[in-house]
A and B are shown apart, each in its own frame.
Chain A
Amino acid sequence: MSKEVLLIEDEPNIIEAIRFILSRDGWVVHTHSDGTTAFEKITEKQPDVIILDVMLPGRSGFDILHDVRSVSERPDIPVLMLTAKGQSKDRARAEELGVSKFMSKPFSNTDVLAAVRELAGQ
C-alpha cells in the first residue's frame, strides 16, 4: 500500500513540482494551501509524512507544528518543515517545537525526496 504525504504549501508551482517528484516515487500526495484549516486536514488525512511550509496564509507553520505535537491524535507524525527564512532562529524555533527535519528554500528535488523517504523510514 502506498504511503501518503500531506504537503501544506501555498505556492502553486512548488506544490506542483513536489507533487510530481513524490508521485513518481510512488507516494500518494495530498495538498493543502491554507494555514487556518491545515490542522483539520492533518487530522482528516492522517498522512505518513507532513511537508509543512512556515509562511502560510492565516496561520504559520510553527503554530500548526505546535498543535501537531501537543493536541493531535498522532503527535509523533514526521514533519519536514520548509522555509524561505533560513535564519538560525527559525531553525531553533522549529527544533524547539519538535520538527523532524528542517529544510531551507531553495532546495533540490533530490534532497526533498531523500528527506521524505528518511522520515518515512524507507
Chain B
Amino acid sequence: MPRTALVGSRIRERRTVLKMRQAELARSVGISPSYLNLIEHNRRRIGGKLLVDIARQLEVETTALTEGAGATLIASLRDAASGNAEAEKEMPRIEEFVGRFPGWAQLLSSSHRRIDDLERTVEALTERMAHDPFLSESLHEILSTVTAIRSTAGILNDTQDIDREWRERFHRNMFEESQRLADGAEALVSYLDSAGGDADVRSSPQEEVVAFLKAREFHLPDLEEGDEAAVHDLVVGDEDLKSASAVELAEAFLHRYQSDAEKVPMSDLLEALKDGALNPSALARQFRVDLSTILRRLASVPRDKIGRSIGLVECDGSGTLTYRKEIEGFPLPRFGAACPLWPLYQALAQPMMPVHRVVSVSARSDEVFETYAVCQSINAEQFDEPQVYRAVMLFFPRKAGEASDALHLDAGTSCRICERRKCVARREPSILADGL
C-alpha cells in the first residue's frame, strides 16, 4: 500500500474524533459521500485543493494528514515481524497500523529493539563464557577444588577403617580446599558483578559510542579548539560509555575528530558552505585534506548550520559497519549486513576511487539521497604490513529542485526487509509480501 493511501485512514480517524458524519464532511467540501468513503478507505488518491479543504474542515494542517510514519519505525516493525507467520501475513497493512496507532507502533518497535539488545547481550555473555581467559581459569580452579573436596569427602565418608593420620590429613585437605573454594567463588562473583555493568542494554562498545555521540548530536564543540585534555574530560564518567572498550573506542574516535577539526576548522567550513553548495571534492581541495576527512567533517556540522540532515556510515575491510550516524529515511541496520549495493561497498571494492551516486533506498518512496563514498588505507605508508582499508559514505536527502549529475542507484537497507525482489545483489529472500 503506497504511503499516500494512508491519508484516507487519517481523514477517517480525524473525522471520527470530531464526531462529524461522513455526509457532513463530504457536503462541506463539495464531494459525494460515496466518493469520500472511497477516499477514507484508501481507494482513491487525494491531493491538491480537495486535501486542503478537508484539512480545513477537520481543523488540522494538511501535513497532519499527509505525513507518513517514519521509515525507521516501519523498517523496525518489519524486522520485528520477520519470522512470525501471522504478522508477516499482515505486512501489507503495516503503514496503516503505524498511521492509525503511532503509540502502539512505537512501543512495539522499542520492545523489538530491546529484545534485540538483550539477545546481543546473551550472545556477548556466551562468547565471554567461552573465551574469557579469567572466567575460564576461575571455573577451572573451582572445578578442581570441588573435585578435591568431593574425592576427599568420599574417602572420609566411605572408608570405615581409615588411619587416624590419614583422617587428619584429609580433614586438613578438606579445610584447605573449602577455603580455596570460598576464595575462588568470591573472586568469580566479584568479577561477574563488575562485568555486569557493560552487559547493559547496548550490547556492543560501538553502540555505546554511537549513543554517546547521538546525545551530542554528533557535534563536539569542546574538541573544535584543539584542547588535548578535552577528549579525556568528555569520556571520563560519561553514562553512555559503560564499558572500558567503549571508552577506548570513544577516545580513538574523539582524537580523530580533533585531528579532523584542526585540518578543517568549523568556522572556515561553515564559511565555505555559505553559498549552499555541498561539494565534498571542492571542499577537500580547498582545505587540502583527503576525502574521508572532509566527509567526516561534513557529518559533524550541526544540522541548524548546514540546513539539512547529514548521515555518515563507515565500514572496515570486512564490510562490518563500524560507525553509524542515521538520518530519517535512510535507516542503517543495527545487526547483520547492509545493502551490498550501497556506494560504501562499491568504494570498498575500489580503494581510492571516489563514488558519487544518487540513491533511492525504498521503492515505495520518492525520496532520494546524495551519497559520496571513498575507501582509503589507514596504513598506506607501511610496506611490511597488510593494508587495512576503511570506507566511509556521507549521505543526505536531496532537496526538491536540486539537480545532480550522479548516476541513480536503486538500493535498500538490507536484503531481509528490502522490497526489490529481483535485485541482482540479493543475499537472502525478503520477508516483504508482493506488492508492497
The reply on B26 being an interface residue by CB < 8 A is no
Choice from B154, B159, B176 contacting A13 with Cβ under 8 Å: B176
Contacts of A44 in B (CB 8 A): none
The reply on B146 being an interface residue by CB < 8 A is yes
Cα(A17)–Cα(B171), bound, Å: 12
Smallest beta-carbon distance A110→chain B, Å:
8
Smallest beta-carbon distance A46→chain B, Å:
26
Q: A11-B148, A84-B140, A84-B144 are in contact. Are A16 and B154 (CB under 8 A)?
A: no
Complex contact B143–A84 (CB within 8 A): yes
Smallest beta-carbon distance B130→chain A, Å:
9
Cα(A112)–Cα(B152), bound, Å: 13
Smallest beta-carbon distance B78→chain A, Å:
38
The reply on B155 being an interface residue by CB < 8 A is yes
Cα(A18)–Cα(B170), bound, Å: 12
Interface residues of B in 120-172 (CB under 8 A from A): 139-140, 143-144, 146-152, 154-155, 158-159, 166, 169-170
The reply on B117 being an interface residue by CB < 8 A is no
Contacts of B152 in A (CB 8 A): 13, 16-17
Contacts of B166 in A (CB 8 A): 20
Smallest beta-carbon distance A52→chain B, Å:
15
**Which of A11, A17, A20: most chain B CB closer than 10 A?**
A17
**Which of B144, B146, B152, B155: most chain A CB closer than 10 A?**
B144
Smallest beta-carbon distance B128→chain A, Å:
15
Complex contact A16–B150 (CB within 8 A): no
Smallest beta-carbon distance B166→chain A, Å:
7
Complex contact A109–B155 (CB within 8 A): yes
Q: Convert A90-122 into 0s and 1s, putting 1 for each residue whose CB lies closer than 8 angstroms to a CB of B.
A: 000000000000000111111010000000000
Q: A11-B148, A18-B151, A84-B147 are in contact. Are A55 and B169 (CB under 8 A)?
A: no
Contacts of B139 in A (CB 8 A): 84
**Which of B140, B147, B148, B154: most chain A CB closer than 10 A?**
B147
Complex contact A105–B155 (CB within 8 A): no
The reply on B419 being an interface residue by CB < 8 A is no
Smallest beta-carbon distance B160→chain A, Å:
12
Contacts of A108 in B (CB 8 A): 150-151, 154
Contacts of B173 in A (CB 8 A): 13, 16-17
Cα(A14)–Cα(B152), bound, Å: 8
Complex contact B151–A11 (CB within 8 A): no
Smallest beta-carbon distance B48→chain A, Å:
68
Interface residues of B in 205-225 (CB under 8 A from A): none
Choice from B140, B149, B158, B169 contacting A16 with Cβ under 8 Å: B169
Interface residues of A in 18-44 (CB under 8 A from B): 18, 20-21, 24
For A24, the closest partner residue in chain B by CB is B159
The reply on B177 being an interface residue by CB < 8 A is yes
The reply on A85 being an interface residue by CB < 8 A is yes
Q: How many residues of B contact A (CB 8 A)?
A: 21
Contacts of B150 in A (CB 8 A): 106-108
For B142, the closest partner residue in chain A by CB is A84
For A18, the closest partner residue in chain B by CB is B151
Complex contact B148–A14 (CB within 8 A): yes
Cα(A106)–Cα(B149), bound, Å: 9
Smallest beta-carbon distance B366→chain A, Å:
54
Choice from B146, B147, B155, B177 contacting A20 with Cβ under 8 Å: B155
Cα(A106)–Cα(B145), bound, Å: 9
Cα(A110)–Cα(B159), bound, Å: 12
**Which of A18, A85, A106, A108: most chain B CB closer than 10 A?**
A106
Q: A20-B155, A21-B151 are in contact. Are A14 and B144 (CB under 8 A)?
A: yes
Contacts of A18 in B (CB 8 A): 151
Complex contact A17–B146 (CB within 8 A): no
Complex contact B151–A14 (CB within 8 A): yes
Complex contact A105–B147 (CB within 8 A): yes
Contacts of B143 in A (CB 8 A): 84, 105-106
For B143, the closest partner residue in chain A by CB is A84
Contacts of B170 in A (CB 8 A): 16-17, 20
For A9, the closest partner residue in chain B by CB is B144
Cα(A119)–Cα(B418), bound, Å: 61
Smallest beta-carbon distance B175→chain A, Å:
10
Complex contact B140–A13 (CB within 8 A): no
Contacts of B146 in A (CB 8 A): 105-106
Interface residues of A in 53-74 (CB under 8 A from B): 55
**Which of A18, A55, A105, A112: most chain B CB closer than 10 A?**
A105
Cα(A55)–Cα(B133), bound, Å: 14
8 A-B pairs with the lowest CB-CB distances in the bound complex, closest first: A17-B151, A84-B143, A13-B148, A106-B147, A105-B147, A109-B154, A13-B173, A84-B140
Could you list some 22 contacts between A and B, CB below 8 A? A11-B144, A11-B147, A13-B173, A13-B177, A14-B147, A16-B152, A16-B169, A16-B170, A17-B148, A17-B173, A21-B151, A55-B140, A84-B139, A84-B143, A84-B144, A105-B143, A105-B146, A106-B147, A106-B149, A106-B150, A107-B150, A107-B151
